[in-house]
């Protein structure tokens, strides 16, 4: 049996007895899945907001936040200056105060500018308090190699972040994973580093 036939058979067994069929499943890009996840969570919970460089009026460097600023306005979709240390500190403080920020880095290479806030403030506080001091924040952005962005924008820090106590590292493979895992990360009280390969 050909590999394609095996995959189709496995998928049909997975959806057997369900209203959902292969024909009704929608194809979706990772970019669209991330956008839908953020849109749904911002709509669902007034505490959720997005901040980062070019996430509002420009719709994000990779267009992941497309349309969100027009829908939710300046209070929920916040463009920041080019100061990762500053806006990450602001987001961590907001999380400690009970909000649920999505702190977006244009690429995770720039997160190194904010490593103290991410690790020592968000992740380790949650870890050292045994989860009693929550920091419900998602650090999100593009990660890894991409065409034409040079070495400064092409590193993958996922393995390094995975060794930091208190920080969940999420690196989805498919659009389905991206949407579901981002929604779960936003709802989680634990800080999460959510990286997707350049979309």
Q: Which residues of 73-95 are buried (b: 16+ CB within 10 A; e: fewer)?
A: eeebbbbbeeebeebbbbbbbbb
| Gap between the terminal Cα atoms of the chain | 33
The owner of tokens 């690429």 is: 107
Catalytic residue (one of 41, 84, 104, 193): 84
The yes-or-no answer on residue 163 being catalytic is no
Instruction: Count CB atoms within 10 A of the CB of residue 145.
Output: 12
The answer to whether the beta carbons of residues 137 and 188 sit under 8 Å apart is no
Catalytic residue (one of 41, 53, 104, 153): 153
Just list the catalytic residues: 84, 153
């Amino acid at each position: 049996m050909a590999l394609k036939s095996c995959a189709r058979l496995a998928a049909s067994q997975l959806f057997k007895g369900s209203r959902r069929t292969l024909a009704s499943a929608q194809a979706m890009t990772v970019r669209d899945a991330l956008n839908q996840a953020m849109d749904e969570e911002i709509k669902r919970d007034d505490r959720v907001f997005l901040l980062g460089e070019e996430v509002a009026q420009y719709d994000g460097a990779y267009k992941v936040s497309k349309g969100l600023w027009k829908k939710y306005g300046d209070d929920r979709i916040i463009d920041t200056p080019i100061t990762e240390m500053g806006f990450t500190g602001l987001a961590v403080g907001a999380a400690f105060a009970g909000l649920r920020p999505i702190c977006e880095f244009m690429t995770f290479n720039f997160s190194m500018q904010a490593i103290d806030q991410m690790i020592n403030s968000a992740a380790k506080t949650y870890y050292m308090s045994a989860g009693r001091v929550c920091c419900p924040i998602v650090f999100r952005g593009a990660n890894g190699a991409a065409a034409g962005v040079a070495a400064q924008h092409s590193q993958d820090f996922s393995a390094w972040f995975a060794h930091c106590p208190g920080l969940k590292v999420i690196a989805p493979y498919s659009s389905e994973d991206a949407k579901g895992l981002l929604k779960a990360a936003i709802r989680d009280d634990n800080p999460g580093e959510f990286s997707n390969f350049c979309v």
